[in-house]
Amino acid sequence: SIDESYGAIGQAGVDLAVTENIMLNGYVSYADVNSDINLDGAGRVGEVDIEPVTVGGGITYRF
| pTM of this structure | 0.67
Distance, in Å, from the CA atom of 14 to the CA atom of 58, rounded to the nearest integer, reads 11
Domain borders along the chain are 8-61
pLDDT in tens, 17-55: 999 999 999 999 999 988 888 888 888 888 888 899 999
Q: DSSP per residue over 1-63, as a string?
A: -B-----EEEEEEEEEESSSSEEEEEEEEEEEEEEEEEETTTEEEEEEEE--EEEEEEEEE--
Q: How many residues does the structure list for the chain? A: 63
